[in-house]
Amino acid sequence: MSGRPSDSGGVEAATVERAGEAIREGGLVVYPTDTVYGLGADALDPDAIERVFEVKGRDRDRPLSLGVPDVEGALEYTRPTDREERFMRAFLPGPVTVVLERRDPVPDALTAARDRVGIRVPDHDVALGFYRAADGPVTATSANRSGSGSVRRVAEIDPSIREAAVVLDAGETPGTESTVVDPSLEDPVIREGSEADAVRAWLTG
């Protein structure tokens, strides 16, 4: 089910609300971000998380990130150090995934039983509106079959994923994946992507 893009390049508010309802009911949603299209499900529901792994064909030992609409939302599910929180406030919303110590509500299914979880706050109005409509954290993983490239346009998404999810189509996304950072590591940049140079400058400054 695709939403009709508005003149501003977003998606109709009613369609975003329906996508949020789908998440609350255990369903899947394809949504745009400031990097690539993502695949969302209730990030606290192991059954919904399992559907993400199934539709992507993804190994269960590869963790998924958690998407929230703001840093305050991230603090509900993580225990960042002071430095990690400063980093989040410097780069989020933005195309950066920050790996932090998780709190108890975050299930093992999301993190592959790891103690830390990746946090995403995309700098994208549709994504943030969708997260708010979902009324809880949403999985933040690319909307592609495992082993395939990430997608910038809804038309590029594998039909098996499109047919399993509500689709929020906001046109083409930038396409460069997020930079993944774990500030607790000696070499904190796990994956270079958008804003990688600025991230490294902050971490070494």
pLDDT in tens, 127-178: 999 999 999 999 999 999 999 999 999 999 999 999 999 999 999 999 999 9
Domains of the chain, each with CATH number or no CATH? 13-204 (3.90.870.10)
pLDDT confidence of residue 5: 35
pLDDT confidence of residue 196: 96
Q: State mean pLDDT over 113-125.
A: 98
pLDDT confidence of residue 10: 65
pLDDT above 60 for 4 = no
pLDDT in tens, 107-118: 999 999 999 999
pLDDT confidence of residue 133: 97
Whole-number Å distance between alpha carbons of 144 and 164: 12
Q: How many residues does the chain have?
A: 205
Contact 23, 38 (CB under 8 A): no
Q: State mean pLDDT over 18-26.
A: 97
pLDDT confidence of residue 11: 86
pLDDT in tens, 36-85: 999 999 999 999 999 999 999 999 999 999 999 999 999 999 999 999 99
pLDDT confidence of residue 171: 95
CB atoms under 10 Å from CB of 82, counted, come to: 7
Give the β-pairing of 38-40 and 138-142.
antiparallel
